Structure 1
């Protein structure tokens, strides 16, 4: 019986070769990925040398500009002891303890370990940090500033506190996968000044792009949670709040100028008012920051907007009388809002910390109603023993339907951008425990 000799082009041999090649590529790719994903632990230190007071004070100023405490302090918790939940589209991440506690904090971290975490997103043990920690921005920090921040946090009182476990689904709970995310979206590197700009602008750019990581909230993100560079500062979100666009996409009626931004960044601007939600936390952190730093931030941010600034007067127009929802909203507004908001505003001698018209507020003119709903639900209150805007919370008084009617009325009267889509759905999602209609007040004229 003749035995057929296998040729190089025989199908079985060719398939085996393809399979072998594919397997080899898979193995080599896996080894390469592991090499990229793996980072060695940095040896712990027994103690941290005491830093000079001026170095600690410099770090404190930087921490305020980076509003570090706002993320690393849980509600009612000790400063910098972590535990604050940070909601993301992929699950909840809890901020870590960055006090110098040796067991649960970073008390055994060297400056090298701290620097690696800030600039590469790798902790002392070699684990990848989730990019909810904005190392993608902090990578631009100078050596001196990283050292000053290290000196400051290591001078804090140690607090023994373990952050709750993150709640991320499989496989997102596997930290080595972040190495792949970094390959796609992260580029390490220091901030490079623009030689064509002045010192103040470059300082503001450094603060905004690196330390204050403004784009982390004010930029759009892709489906993997990375900032879209081509859509920087076109609006984003933070902690369930909408973050307005900074630049040509801004919906603010009064133009943003360097002067108005400088006032706003320390708490209040007569044309734009103040901030609530995550931005309110940022402004609170700015207390005690040098005026030159705030002016630099304002200089850079103002350069993002078109110049000369567009002249858009705040809108205030009559509403259709044949729309029952808007009529109900007008009645609620008259009973709950008009006393303060029809006073002419602080600039005209009216209620302090009140703008002349709600048409000046981006929460009313912007494309997303969440900020307005948050404020209507939770109100606004200044810090204890501090002056600032104040507004009652209506979350326990108005029904979800009443808040929907009120928001629709404000939108129709003070904006020409058209009704918000799915407004009722958004209100009910943010007010799941609103009172039922039968227990509501008579603000809308119903028995």
Structure 2
């Protein structure tokens, strides 16, 4: 090693540096420390008013609690569902009132702290897979109602597996620093110039609904990019489309169209719910109609900038030109897709949109269109609605890329996607995680 590196070096310098680093570490730990909240005896379900429990059941649906806190094939709300993130795999917590593995000993205050501050009853920092950056905007009364609902569920004894995160992210005090940048507390502002319905929608979307958690881009630290709110994001290997004026839909979303989509999982002018949106629709199908209309009204306003009064464009079908450009894709489409999606196919009609109107096919990001081909589409509500088989086991990455390139060229006026086969390969890998 060059002696130049040691110029000005003194043994005391190293000791002072070590002391300074230790002091900084202790200061950081002090900032991150939170006290535990004392356990309480498991409350009797009868101690909660029936009206509060019923309201909490609706609010838990609006917040999609069971979606993340129910393992595949597991008991509702018992946790242990694997949640894949760019930083590793997290496992959701048990929300049943089991005293050993759930929240049976949690007070309402402990529950509110977890939802608003991301702090467990024990004082440990919680990972933002629990979207407390949105739940922090929810009123205490609504959180207490959700707490009442959860504490009246049947206890399930189920321990979540240990998280599998990239080192050193398993060190929870680091989350205190993350919150300094990305946890913005406070109520959702009421806009006096807007209707009661719009303000209700804002409260639900920005709070319990945590729509921005999927539909907003995230930075390298996993925080939402506030300056690009609702500009599109990532959800469980799918691309969550933009919910602002850049939304790729051929026909502008109206409040009525959004209401129908959120309530049933299908919009004849836009497409069908797939991937992570399926469980969302399943939840919204059973909440009060007024809440879904409020959500639709607010989201439609965020997509303002599209002229919803202009004539709706007719679906495109550039079959001949597309076949010349993508002959392999045309052949594959004829064999695997045309039986349902071709002109005159018996599956067309009945509220099913033409591929020329499907938003995923028009998006700048092909991920969701690819995942629909790989994974298929399941009707989110009682088997009603469009159903499409997955082709992950029957088509290669190159074949999926060919057929989707052909479909985009045939049914849209959008430019070709680039590096499609590479994107298919990535989507297939994400499908298999965790």
Is the TM-score greater than 0.5? Answer: yes
Q: Quote the offset at 1:344 in angstroms.
A: 6.0
Is 1:244 aligned to 2:241, yes or no? yes
Q: CA RMSD in A?
A: 2.6
Aligned to 2:317: 316
Aligned length: 419
Q: Quote the offset at 1:403 in angstroms.
A: 1.5
Aligned 8 A contact 2:339 2:345 in 1:
no
Aligned to 1:281: 279
Q: Quote the offset at 1:64 in angstroms.
A: 0.7
Larger RCO: Structure 1 or Structure 2 (Cα < 8 Å, ≥ 6 residues apart)? 2
Moved more, 303-312 or 165-174: 303-312
1:118 to 115, 120, 133: 115
- Equivalences for residues 343-382 of structure 1 within 5 A: 343=343, 350-355=348-353, 357-382=354-379
Q: Quote the offset at 1:384 in angstroms.
A: 7.9
| 1:385 to 1:246, Cα distance in 2 relative to 1, 3 A | closer
Distance between the aligned counterparts of 1:81 and 1:185, measured in 2? 28
Is 1:136 aligned to 2:133, yes or no? yes
Aligned to 2:219: 222
Distance between the aligned counterparts of 2:188 and 2:27, measured in 1? 29
- Equivalences for residues 424-443 of structure 1 within 5 A: 424-431=421-428
CA displacement 1:24-55 (0-9 Å, x = unmatched): 76555434322220011100011224211111
2:84 to 79, 83, 87: 87
Q: Quote the offset at 1:428 in angstroms.
A: 2.7
Is 1:179 aligned to 2:176, yes or no? yes
Q: Quote the offset at 1:306 in angstroms.
A: 2.3
TM-score by length of 1: 0.87
Distance between the aligned counterparts of 2:213 and 2:60, measured in 1? 17
Aligned to 2:38: 43
| 1:195 to 1:260, Cα distance in 2 relative to 1, 3 A | same
Q: Quote the offset at 1:430 in angstroms.
A: 3.5
Aligned to 2:330: 330
| 1:353 to 1:395, Cα distance in 2 relative to 1, 3 A | farther
Q: Quote the offset at 1:320 in angstroms.
A: 3.6
Distance between the aligned counterparts of 1:255 and 1:384, measured in 2? 25
TM-score by length of 2: 0.90
Other structure's SS at 1:43 match: coil
Q: Quote the offset at 1:281 in angstroms.
A: 1.2
Is 1:151 aligned to 2:148, yes or no? yes
Distance between the aligned counterparts of 1:321 and 1:147, measured in 2? 56
Q: Quote the offset at 1:378 in angstroms.
A: 2.0
Aligned to 1:232: 229
Aligned to 2:300: 302
Aligned 8 A contact 1:341 1:354 in 2:
no
| 1:215 to 1:258, Cα distance in 2 relative to 1, 3 A | same
Is 1:188 aligned to 2:188, yes or no? no
| 1:99 to 1:423, Cα distance in 2 relative to 1, 3 A | same
CA displacement 1:121-173 (0-9 Å, x = unmatched): 00000000001110000000101100000001111111111111111021111
Q: Quote the offset at 1:105 in angstroms.
A: 0.7
Distance between the aligned counterparts of 1:417 and 1:384, measured in 2? 32
- Equivalences for residues 194-209 of structure 1 within 5 A: 194-209=191-206
Aligned 8 A contact 2:271 2:359 in 1:
no
Aligned 8 A contact 1:352 1:389 in 2:
no
Other structure's SS at 2:221 match: coil
Distance between the aligned counterparts of 2:349 and 2:387, measured in 1? 10
Other structure's SS at 1:86 match: strand
| 1:383 to 1:198, Cα distance in 2 relative to 1, 3 A | closer
Q: Quote the offset at 1:431 in angstroms.
A: 4.0
Q: Quote the offset at 1:23 in angstroms.
A: 7.0
| 1:172 to 1:432, Cα distance in 2 relative to 1, 3 A | closer
Other structure's SS at 2:328 match: helix
Moved more, 312-321 or 201-210: 312-321
Consecutive unaligned residues of structure 2, counting only runs of 5 or more, are 1-6
Q: Quote the offset at 1:61 in angstroms.
A: 0.4
